[in-house]
Structure 1
Amino acid sequence: MTTQLTEPAVAWRADPYAEALRAGRGPLYLRRGDGWLLPLEVERWCAEADAADATVLDRCTGPVLDVGCGPGRLVAALAARGHRALGVDVTPEAVARTVRAGGSALCRSVFDPLPREGRWGTVLLIDGNIGIGGDPAALLRRAARLASPVGSLLVEVATADVDERVEVRVDDGRGGRGAPFRWARLGTRALCAEAAAAGWTPSLTWQAAGRGFVDLRR
């Protein structure tokens, strides 16, 4: 099947991001038009799942879909725990790293047709991936179509009380920049407001190692 990539999907294939994944390290940022930089934790993404990740993995039930899986640490950890897990990512290098780590992954957008639609026990939006596409409402509705009627959506949120929809670029801090695309950042309060409109109800919120998470149910 040939996939027609959207604008943000093409942007995440930009050289600064792909090169950082190949190297397994940054620096790498999302840069807003006003020059503000959001550091991206490439080294953590390319390492094994840590204690904060384990609090997410412990809440996964049934088959798990990791949206924006990156280099695949969560998919690999889930597979090691005996879960049926699939990662999806628009960056070929991310998919390749996931497979090398022992996981399964597809090079595809979350908005493309995906296997097991409506039957995933858990859907993951970790590492800021609620920002995909810059439209959290659309992403939450899409997640509702992917999860089973009794499934859960586990979302990592900003620890600050923020609700931001902006245009950004991937930036390596050394002059390399990708194409502009839309992105979002949501804190717990903003996520819960958006989730309600998409048919999700917060079941649990928690923090671990300075990171924030929300467990949403249908």
Structure 2
Amino acid sequence: MPTKKQSNTPAAAAPNRRRLSPEARRDEIVSAAVALFAETGFDGSTRDVARSAGITQPLLYRYFPSKESLIEAVYARVFLESWDPAWDDILQDRSLPVRDRFQYFYEAYTDTVFERVWLRLWYFALLRDAEVYGWYREVVQEQILKPLVRERRIELGIDQAFHVTPAELEMPWLLHGGLLNYGLRRQATGEDDKAGRVHAIRQALEMYMLCSSAHAAPPG
């Protein structure tokens, strides 16, 4: 009786999961979550993240015990790790006028964040995930907007010791949010014009400088 010929093709073997270190596996899961959430929003499931990462859902939960912990890792990857410490030096360089400092900063900042995944995750957080947007809002206020208010006070000769009020943050938020919406519009049309972006930043900062000069007296 003839024997059955053994197949030597790769398809005959069961696929093996790649062996990765725990750090590399965790990084791979976060990368898969970033890509998925950028397409579906934060409503995307951990099952779909696991599938994208080529692992089982139970294995995903060994690294991230809840979806919330995975979302925190995505937030850190996209919104925190994208921050360049050199930007702090730019914002604090009092040898330059405030307008120039924040012009240089926003040109560098938008070079980084005017990217499809970053802008989509920011937009989804704004629309659907109040907690993620709250984390982002706090970082922006502390690292960008409050320094803008304080440095402008110093330039105008106003005592910078008093607390930055919510009212004082409204105009900086219009500046910052307006630039991000500008990035979304450019992304939607496929027009990433660096010269146009630099001009938009200059106009937004000029608007803020005029407004802050008109309300130079500290609140009572």
* TM-score greater than 0.5 by the shorter chain: no
Bigger proportion of residues as strand: 1
TM interval, shorter chain, is under 0.3
Bigger proportion of residues as helix: 2
TM-score where L is the length of structure 2: 0.25
TM-score where L is the length of structure 1: 0.25
The structure whose Rg is larger is 2
